[in-house]
């Protein structure tokens, strides 16, 4: 599980195929959906790898496969995932529990759905710390406060006792980052972490992640629809379409000199300026540019 320079990748996928098993409903037979097919990628220490692609291209399924968080109806049918050279594909949940929130941190688009509405944010950060490092409640609370300061949440000592609904969307995402980094993970997977936030807050959150990365050397896998975010924050890019990798390269060279027609269409579809409404451009809109798919979008196959 080494990269082309012989260094061990922090996190790597080797030819993974991810399949969802969709049960039969009235009128529709059971079927399988191949969400990701034969995907290779890797991210190194201190590196930010972006995964881009239109809606349904398999970005989230990749993130879930990389972290062992696929739902019960999904499975990695081929290939393997390695964390610091150790195979973690399809490990039992008991083994993954030692990895989640410890060596792999995760943040998602919607922090509200990831936070527990009936626990204070202090309690939730303390839980994350105590799940992996036994210490007194008082010590965990002090660490939770330090983490909130690190993610630049104003007035951390008082915010510890707030419930998620008392915070803005940007503040909640800061809390999610505090939880994700609470045990100094080797890699952080961020699935559209700023899509729901306005442009200013998005910049603040992404620069916060970069600060943390500069200090800790953690690897980041950043999933996004936004090529502006990619251009500014990612070292390398993987372009996905229909569950497959279309192209990969260093950010500047890939954006300046895309070799794949899909990547060219993606770049051409990006407006030069964000619309005044503040509405984000979605890559799914490239459908309107007349790009003809080169490979089938996630295939669905009847169960034999
Ligand atoms: N729970 C599920 N059951 C069945 N199929 C699923 C499930 N989740 C995802 N899929 C399918 O897997 C494929 C990839 O979906 P995925 O969520 O990874 O796309 P995505 O690139 O993250 O899209 P988006 O940009 O909208 O988040 C799609 O065809 C989708 O319909
Ligand atoms: Mg997704």
The pLDDT assigned to 250 comes to: 97
For residue 216, the Cα-to-chain-centroid distance in whole angstroms is 18
The pLDDT assigned to 244 comes to: 97
Helix axes 169-181, 137-150, angle to 10 degrees: 120
Query: What is the distance in A from the centroid of ligand 1 to the CA of 248?
Result: 21
The pLDDT assigned to 112 comes to: 83
The pLDDT assigned to 275 comes to: 47
Query: What is the distance in A from the centroid of ligand 1 to the CA of 243?
Result: 9
Q: What is the pLDDT along the chain (304 residues), one digit of tens a residue?
A: 555 566 679 999 999 999 999 999 999 999 999 999 999 999 999 999 999 998 999 999 999 999 888 999 999 999 999 999 899 988 888 888 888 878 999 998 888 888 999 999 999 999 999 998 999 999 999 999 999 999 999 999 999 999 999 999 999 999 999 999 999 999 999 999 998 889 999 999 999 999 999 999 999 999 998 899 999 999 999 999 999 999 999 999 999 999 999 899 888 887 654 444 444 444 444 433 334 343 444 455 555 4
Taking the CA of residue 223 as reference, the ligand 1 atom at the shortest distance is 22
Cα dihedral value 240, 245, 251, 257, nearest 10: -100
The pLDDT assigned to 288 comes to: 35
Q: Best substitution site from 20, 50, 69 to test ligand 1's pocket, by max atoms within 8 Å of Cβ?
A: 20
For residue 21, the Cα-to-chain-centroid distance in whole angstroms is 22
The pLDDT assigned to 153 comes to: 95
The pLDDT assigned to 303 comes to: 57
Angle at 292 between CA 287 and CA 295, to 5 degrees: 110
Rounded distance, CA 293 to CA 301, Å? 19
Ligand nearest to the CA of 75: 1
The response to whether residue 228 sits with its C-beta less than 6 Å from ligand 1 reads no
Residues 6+ apart with CB under 8 A from 139: none
The response to whether residue 33 sits with its C-beta less than 6 Å from ligand 1 reads yes
Q: Structure pTM?
A: 0.87
Could you tell me which of 100, 117, 18, 24 has the C-alpha nearest to residue 61?
18
End-to-end CA distance of the chain: 34
Cβ-in-10-Å burial (0-12, 13-18, 19+) of 187 comes to: buried
Query: What is the distance in A from the centroid of ligand 2 to the CA of 63?
Result: 9
Rounded distance, CA 122 to CA 157, Å? 9
Strand order in the sheet with 31-43: 86-87, 74-83, 11-22, 31-43, 300-302
């Amino acid at each position: 599980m080494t990269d082309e320079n012989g260094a061990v990748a922090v996190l790597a996928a080797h030819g993974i195929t991810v399949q969802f098993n969709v049960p039969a409903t009235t009128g529709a037979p059971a079927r399988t959906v191949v969400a990701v097919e034969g995907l290779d990628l890797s991210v190194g220490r201190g590196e930010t790898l972006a995964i881009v692609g239109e809606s349904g291209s398999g970005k989230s399924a990749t993130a879930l496969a990389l972290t062992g968080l696929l739902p019960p109806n999904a499975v990695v049918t081929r290939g393997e995932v390695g964390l610091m050279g150790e195979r973690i594909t399809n490990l039992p949940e008991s083994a993954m529990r030692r990895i989640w929130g410890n060596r792999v941190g995760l943040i998602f688009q919607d922090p509200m759905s990831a936070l527990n509405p009936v626990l204070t944010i202090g309690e939730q950060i303390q839980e994350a710390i105590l799940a992996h490092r036994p210490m007194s409640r008082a010590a965990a609370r002090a660490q939770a406060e330090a983490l909130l300061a690190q993610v630049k949440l104003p007035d951390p000592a008082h915010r510890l006792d707030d419930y998620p609904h008392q915070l803005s969307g940007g503040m909640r995402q800061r809390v999610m980052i505090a939880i994700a980094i609470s045990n100094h993970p080797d890699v952080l997977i961020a699935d559209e972490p700023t899509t729901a936030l306005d442009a200013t807050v998005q910049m603040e959150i992404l620069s916060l992640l970069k600060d943390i990365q500069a200090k800790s050397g953690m690897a980041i896998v950043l999933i996004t629809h936004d090529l502006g975010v990619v251009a500014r924050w990612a070292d390398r890019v993987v372009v996905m379409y229909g569950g497959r990798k279309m192209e990969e390269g260093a950010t500047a060279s890939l954006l300046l000199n895309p070799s794949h027609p899909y990547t060219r269409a993606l770049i051409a579809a990006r407006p030069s300026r964000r619309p005044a409404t503040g509405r984000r451009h979605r890559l799914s809109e490239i459908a309107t540019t007349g790009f003809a798919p080169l490979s089938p979008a996630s295939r669905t196959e009847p169960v034999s």
